[in-house]
Amino acid sequence: MPKIRLFPSACHSARLARSFGAALVAFSLAPPVPAAEEIPQGSSFFDDFDSFDKSLWGISDGWVNGTWQNCRWSKDAMSVSDGYLNLQFLRHPTEKLDYICGEIQSRERYGYGVYEARFRTAQGSGLNAAFFTYIGPHHGKPHGEIDFEVLTRDTSRVSLNTYVAGKPHNGKPVPLPHPSDDGFITYSFVWSKDGITWYVDGVKMHETAAGSPLPTDAQKIYASFWGSDSFPNWMGRFDEPEQDLTMNVDWIAFTAEGESCQFPASLLCKLE
């Protein structure tokens, strides 16, 4: 199997495009992956983080996605303990930045199917707790993305979105059953050639509009917790946290289209 490179995600680079133009985004991303290093296609999985599966996940470490990000991705902001993946936003001053933050990304890419994660966030303005899929130019593909983003200045809702060829479609904030920092919530979306449908705790919240552009390339799976002081209108003014903050992920799963429910808590068990 060819070596798999881990590169920055573009969940937040997409927002940079919206605010400052695609040229800046292209500058902030890594160069395309050579054809010999094409990311392999993954299959169904359920990961409850009893341990960290290095064959499934890579850790974003040692870079930032752009000058607008006020934390550096670091392996020191990620841990697995007591059955949880912990992604943190930590004060850790360096010459350039005062904070480090945590992200994992799948080593493989995934296509049509059911994507699910159960997590709890912290609360804080200027921070983003995200579960999403992404593929882009540094993988040799157009920018595609499907998002759940809890902008933790307001933990009562989650933002949903897609990007197709670098352009946003079907964006919508939806209410959560309880504040995301009060307890765990399950976030799921079903992606097929006909559309994307988002669910929160098994309740349908949003779907792509008929005839809207849809992602077609398989994508990598990400979970991240990061901050910025560059987007006050979107993420809120960045307020320096009084303590280290954590996004706790209970589990992440993918079930390929056409396959049966693989664990009791899956949305697919309710839909079958």
Kindly name the residue from 103, 108, 116, 149 that is annotated as catalytic: 149
Label the pairing between strands 245-256 and 219-227. unpaired
Active site annotation includes 242: no
Active site annotation includes 240: no
| Secondary structure of residue 268 in the 3-state scheme | helix
For 197-240, the DSSP string reads EEEETTEEEEEPPTT-----S-EEEEEEEEEBSS-HHHH-----
For 111-178, the DSSP string reads -SEEEEEEEE----TTEEEEEEEEE-GGGTS--EEEEEEEETTSTTEEEEEEEETTEEEEEEEEE-SS
Kindly name the residue from 38, 145, 207, 240 that is annotated as catalytic: 145
Half-sphere exposure in the Cβ direction for 174 (13 Å, CA): 20
Label the pairing between strands 78-81 and 195-200. unpaired
Q: Which tokens belong to 185?
A: 């919530």
Number of H helices, E strands in the chain: 4, 16
- 131: β partners: 148, 223
CA-atom Rg of the chain in angstroms: 17
Residue 270 is given by DSSP the state: H
For the annotated catalytic residues, the residue numbers are 145, 149
